[in-house]
Structure 1
C-alpha cells in the first residue's frame, strides 16, 4: 500500500469513528463545543456562589424528561426545560426548552406520560447541540431541580460521553429547602409539594412545565428558610449536615 492510499484509509477510518456518540466530535463544530464547555467550567466561581444571600442569588431551575432512569444502561434525555429566577422572582420570559433527537421507538408509557411522540423527536436537534445551547443559557449560574439526582446523573453521563468533560455545575435540590422549612412534610413528589403549597399544577411531566413548578417552590421556600437562619447556600449546607 503506497503513501497516498494510507492517507486515504486513515481519513476514512477517522470519519467513521466520528459518527459515533449521536453525531458528536464531528469536525470543528464539536471541538468548539468542547472548548466552550471547558472555558465555562473555568469561569465558574463556586465559592462566591456560597456566600450570596439566597434571595439575591440568580439561578436556573430546570427539568429533563428521559426514556428511563438509568443513563448507564442506555436511557437518554428526551427534552430539557429551564427558567431563570433572579432575586427571588421568576423571569417568565427567560426560558429554555428543547426536544432531543431520538430515533428509537418510545414506549407507550413514556408517550402518555410526557406527551412527546416519536415523530417530534426524529426532527429534533442532537443531544450534544441541545446541551451546548442549554449551557449557554445557564452560563455559570447554579442549577436547581426537584429531586435533582435524576438530572445530575443524566447530565454527568452525557457530558462525559459526548464531550469527555466532567459536569461541574452546582445543582441545588429543592428537597434541601423543604427538609428545613417543613421537616415534618411527607410529600416528596413535585406534584404533592406544589399542592401542599397551593401551587396550581399544570403542564406536569413537560420539562419546562415542571421547571416552572419547581421554580415556584424555590420562591416560596427561600424566605422561610432565611427566617430560620439560612441566609446563604453555605448556611443551607451547614444546616442540612445537622438534619
Structure 2
C-alpha cells in the first residue's frame, strides 16, 4: 500500500485572496515504511512574502525569486502523488491551496476523499487534548528539536512518524494482508524498504543504558549480550 505524507507552506490563509504556495514537501510510504523517495520544491509565489509568513517559514522574497513557479512543477507533483492516499495534518487547508493552484493551471483536482487528515484522527483519539503537530510529537516522544521554523519536507518527515503512532504502529495489520497495492512506478519484483536516510535517535536514556551495562556485567563473561 502506497501512501504520501504531504505538507505545504503558503504566503497566508486564503488562495482566493491572492495567497500562494511557496513550498511542497512529500514523503513516500510503502506498507507504512518510508522508502526514501521524496518530493520537495520551493516555489516562487509571484507575489511578495508577507512579514508574518516570513517569520513562520523563514522564506523571503530574495530566496524565492529564482525558484520555479507552481505552473512549472504542478504536473510533476501530480505524477509523484498519483492516486495514493495523502496523509496531511489539517488536510482541508493544504487541499484547498493545491486545488486552487491546479485549477489555475487547468490540471486535474485532487479528490477530497484521497486525503487522510491526521488532525481529525488525533482529535478523535484524544478528544479535548492539543492536536498540533508539536503537541503530538510531545505525546509520542518524537524528536522535533530541528523544527524551529515550519518547513514542508521536515514537517512531512515528522508527520510520517506521528501518523504511524496514530494508527497504532508501523504494521497495524501485522503484515497479514494477503495482497498489497502497488504503484505504477514500482519495480515488478519483490519490493523491500530502503534504509532510513537518517537513523532514528535512540529513546534509551543514559541512565537506562548505564543500568543495562551494569546488569550485563554482573552476569559474567558468558552473558548472551557479550557474544558476537
Q: Is TM > 0.5 for Structure 1 vs Structure 2? A: yes
Aligned to 1:84: 28
Query: Kindly tell me: are residues 173 and 134 of structure 1, through their superposed partners in 2, closer, same or farther at Cα, counting changes over 3 Å?
Result: same
Alpha-carbon shift at residue 226 of structure 1 (Å) = 5.3
**Higher helix share goes to which structure?**
1
Structure 2 residue 149 is the aligned partner of structure 1 residue 200: no
Contact persistence 2:46–2:69 (CA under 8 A):
no
Alpha-carbon shift at residue 191 of structure 1 (Å) = 1.0
Query: Kindly tell me: are residues 68 and 176 of structure 1, through their superposed partners in 2, closer, same or farther at Cα, counting changes over 3 Å?
Result: same
Contact persistence 1:90–1:216 (CA under 8 A):
no
Alpha-carbon shift at residue 103 of structure 1 (Å) = 3.8
Q: Show the 5 A alignment for 1:66-215.
A: 66-91=10-35, 93-163=36-106, 165-168=108-111, 170-180=114-124, 182-184=125-127, 186-201=129-144, 202-203=146-147, 204-215=149-160
Count of residues in correspondence between the two structures: 170
Aligned to 2:166: 221
Alpha-carbon shift at residue 175 of structure 1 (Å) = 2.3
Q: TM-score, normalised by structure 2?
A: 0.68
Find the aligned partners of 1:210 and 1:67 in 2 and give their Cα distance: 17
Structure 2: which 5+ runs fail to align? 178-228
Stretch deviating more after TM superposition (103-112 or 114-123):
103-112
